[in-house]
Amino acid sequence: MTYAQPLGGLGRLLMVIPWLIKERVVPIREMERRFAIKPEQLVKDMEALNEVDFFVSPEQRFSVEITGEHVKVMEAPEFPATPGFLPFEALGCLVAAKAALEMNPEASDLASAVEKLEKAMIPNAAKALRIFSAARAPWVNQLREWATDRRVVRLRYRSTDKGEISDREVEPWQVYQWMGTWYLWGFSRTKGEPRRYRVDGIQRAKPTGEGFRPPRRVPPPPTTYRRGPNDHRVVFLIRPPARWITEHYSMQVLSEDPEGVATAEFYTRDPRVAARLALRLGPNIHIVEGSAARRELATLAAAVLGRYGCSD
């Protein structure tokens, strides 16, 4: 099997290194053909594994010798004979491995390991646990690599709520998936504060050539909205078919009538966020308070109606 695209860091670790452990001596040309990876990159990956104490025992190392035409494994870690997992450890391991496999379906050693783990855990129903991860977004592997290498990146980014495209300089800390969407979390040099970016909103990304030093303790990426002092307050009336949004957005339900119609409070830095929600949910939501959001809703609705030839 040949991979047309160069693999990202995780893909390389999942595919190339297990392959080398199995084969021990491989022609460089074969490695380049299969994985589109140069010997220099391989050496860099191995050094990274050894430097970050990936292996528990300090004697465990992974090293190769690169001759003119071959890569030869000189040192490979010896793994413990039987993992002896507790059930919940096996479950955690299986979930992580399945998520990694979902992102790197070509990783054959991982696929066979998952199969063995499933058969051992649930022998009569090996497909009983399914993981559907977010689709592999472009840039995910590349951004993670730049985060590892601590390289400042210039992004051409389309903001989700405003739809505006602009350039940002970012110190990338982490790539993560949350609620089925990939995000980049890092320090925006342009804005002077930590920011998260939807990876599918990145049109172009390129290292600037500068390095950066991340904080000693990188703050965790936000998973809920943090209210700011200048936020707009919007109050929605939400009918039962749209009630689910109160679980997906940071909303405070103020009241609910016997028919299930809820009144909920929503804070946002940009009223367009609230307007967009109201547009998308149509008759199932109504802005009760928030004049700025109402104005933005009118603008958005006019744009859509104009597209359908109903500009009045």
Identify residues 233-252 at the interface with another protein (CB under 8 A). Answer: 237, 239, 241
* Closer Cβ to another protein, 29 or 280, answer by number: 280
* Closer Cβ to another protein, 28 or 288, answer by number: 288
Looking only at residues 182 through 241 of this chain, which bind another protein when binding is defined by CB under 8 A? 200-201, 203, 221, 223, 237, 239, 241
Per-position x/- string for 45-64, each x denoting binding to another protein as judged by CB under 8 A, each - no binding: ---xx-xxxxxxx--x----
For residues 45 and 144, the answer to whether their CB atoms sit within 8 Å is no
C-beta atoms surrounding 248 within 10 Å = 9
* Closer Cβ to another protein, 79 or 229, answer by number: 79
Instruction: Please report whether residue 29 would count as binding another protein according to CB under 8 A.
Output: no
* Closer Cβ to another protein, 36 or 113, answer by number: 113
Angle at 24 between CA 79 and CA 69, to 5 degrees: 150
Closest Cα partner for 13 from 115, 136, 145, 125?
A: 145
Instruction: Return left, alpha or beta for 290; rule: phi > 0 is left, psi -120 to 50 is alpha, else beta.
Output: left
* Closer Cβ to another protein, 68 or 112, answer by number: 112
For residues 269 and 295, the answer to whether their CB atoms sit within 8 Å is no
The phi and psi torsions of 177 (rounded to 5 degrees) equal -115, 130
Rounded to whole angstroms, the Cα distance separating 252 from 267 reads 9
Instruction: Please report whether residue 176 would count as binding another protein according to CB under 8 A.
Output: yes
Per-position x/- string for 67-106, each x denoting binding to another protein as judged by CB under 8 A, each - no binding: ---------xxxxx-xxxxxxxxxxxx-xxx-xxx-x---
Q: Smallest distance, Å, CB 54 to another protein?
A: 5
In the list 46, 276, 293, 296, the residue contacting another protein (rule: CB under 8 A) is: 276
Note the Cα 36 to chain centre separation in Å.
23
In the list 278, 290, 293, 296, the residue contacting another protein (rule: CB under 8 A) is: 278
Looking only at residues 141 through 170 of this chain, which bind another protein when binding is defined by CB under 8 A? 144, 147-148, 158, 163
SS (H, E, C) 202-234: EEEEEEEEEECCCCCCCCCCCCCCCCCCCCEEE
* Closer Cβ to another protein, 232 or 245, answer by number: 245
